[in-house]
Amino acid sequence: MISPALPAARRALFLLLLWGGLAPLVAAQDGVRPAPVGIHPEPPSYLLLRLAGDRTDVRYTPGSLDRAANLQTRLELTARAFQKWAEVDFRPRVFVLTREEWRQARYAVPYGLPVRVGEAGLAVPAAGDPGTVALWSELLGGLLPAVQGTPMRGTPEELATMVLADVFVQLLASDVLLDAIGLTPEEPWLRGVAAHALTLSVVARLEPGRMPSLEILYQRLGQRHAPGTMSLRDYGSTLDLADWLWFQAQLHAGGKALVAKGKKGEELKKGKELIHSLRKLQKRGGGVLTDELLLRRYRALRPWLSERFSAVSLRVD
């Protein structure tokens, strides 16, 4: 167990080990594509240009200013919302990298998805290419989503892969915030559900028009396995990418159960309410967020667990 009171350096080291942060230093096995979990080393930035913002510092490869500016705009709004909700100094760092820079940084996660780096940073792809199109076409089992407008760089399919990558940029930004508020979950899936709930809250507030596309994406990612064929015990840092994405589809549905308001869930709870609730539950658990406490507080999670996973033990009355 780790306490939020521990010094930042020790806490960062604990999280690095807990979430498999040393994994990118080891070559992936043949045929295995690692998932974007763990805290990876920051990439070298001496050749990257800087785009400074009020709350987000973006380092980008030359020729990717439009991509960097788009990411900064979205993350600036996210950072302001997170700071207001959690009352913490939330200042993410973003590194926008080419495929070659990704390889030089030794990230085993396939190019086309983001990864967490350093204490509060994200490394993201600078542009789509035939490789990212092939990756996402395989993961989604077919055609990529259509995007509006004419891309400034690359084909519409390559642009679509960056739109997909940015869904997980937002999710990993939520994961960074969970560290900032000192969330200490008993099991990895609790962290995943909380991150998806935060992401839903911020998207509903800032970009509500993206909500239908999120649902379609996770529906497609959730088709890899039938409901009830995997257990939450399988969720962890050793999953391959496709299985990890299947779990994200399930955790997205769990996140909706945390933030839904009303009988039909027409509204979403504000992120501030959610963070307050998570902090309160963790305090009640002696500094640890447990599944027992979460399931007791959010009863809508019970049918979600029983319908989507196998061998789940509910330890509440």
pLDDT for residue 109 is more than 80: yes
Q: pLDDT at position 225, please?
A: 87
Q: pLDDT at position 45, please?
A: 86
> Which one, of 237, 248, 251, lies nearest residue 34 by Cα?
237
- Average pLDDT estimate for 85-110: 96
CA 301 distance to own-chain centroid: 20
At residue 212, what are phi and psi to the nearest 5 degrees? -60, -40
Confidence of residue 12 (pLDDT cuts 50, 70, 90): very low
Q: pLDDT at position 18, please?
A: 34
Lowest mean pLDDT segment, chosen from 56-70, 94-108, 133-147, 303-317: 303-317
Higher pLDDT, 207 or 264: 207
pTM of the predicted model, to two decimals? 0.87
Rounded to the nearest 10°, the torsion over CA 159, 147, 110, 101 is: 20
Q: pLDDT at position 11, please?
A: 39
Residue 242 buriedness (CB in 10 A; 0-12 / 13-18 / 19+): middle
- Average pLDDT estimate for 83-105: 95
Q: pLDDT at position 227, please?
A: 84
Lowest mean pLDDT segment, chosen from 122-136, 194-208, 251-265, 276-290: 251-265
The C-alpha angle 121, 136, 94, rounded to 5 degrees, equals 15
Q: pLDDT at position 264, please?
A: 53
pLDDT for residue 193 is more than 60: yes
Q: pLDDT at position 142, please?
A: 86
pLDDT for residue 190 is more than 50: yes
Residue range 8-308 forms a domain whose CATH class is mainly alpha
Q: What is the pLDDT of residues 147-163, one digit of tens each?
A: 776 556 778 999 999 99
Q: What is the pLDDT of residues 30-61, one digit of tens each?
A: 467 999 999 999 999 888 999 989 999 999 99
Structure tokens at 209: 């028009």
Q: pLDDT at position 240, please?
A: 93
Q: pLDDT at position 254, please?
A: 95
- Average pLDDT estimate for 96-106: 97
Q: What is the pLDDT of residues 203-244, one digit of tens each?
A: 999 999 999 999 999 999 999 888 888 898 889 878 899 999
The secondary structure of the chain, three-state, reads CCCCCCCHHHHHHHHHHHCCCCHHHCCCCCCCCECCCCEECCCCCCCCEEEECCCCEEEECCCCHHHHHHHHHHHHHHHHHHHHHHCCCCCCEEEEECHHHHHHCCCCCCECECEEECCCEEEEECCCCHHHHHHHHHHHCCCCCCCCCCCCCCCHHHHHHHHHHHHHHHHHHHHHHHHHCCCCECCHHHHHHHHHHHHHHHHHHHCHHHHHHHHHHHHHHCCCCCCCCCCHHHCCCCCEHHHHHHHHHHHHHHHHHHHEECCCCCEECCHHHHHHHHHHHHHHCCCCECHHHHHHHCCCHHHHHHHHCCCCCCCCC
Query: Side chain identity at 250, as an amino acid letter?
Result: Q
pLDDT for residue 194 is more than 90: yes
**What are the residue ranges spanned by the domains of the chain?**
8-308
Confidence of residue 16 (pLDDT cuts 50, 70, 90): very low
Residue 9 buriedness (CB in 10 A; 0-12 / 13-18 / 19+): exposed
Q: pLDDT exceeding 70 applies to what percent of the chain?
A: 85
Q: What is the pLDDT of residues 265-308, one digit of tens each?
A: 456 778 999 999 999 999 999 999 999 999 999 999 999 998 99
In sequence order, the 6+-apart residues with CB closer than 8 A to the CB of 139 are 221, 241, 242, 245
Mean predicted lDDT score pLDDT of the chain:
86
Placement of tokens 């539950």 in the chain:
281
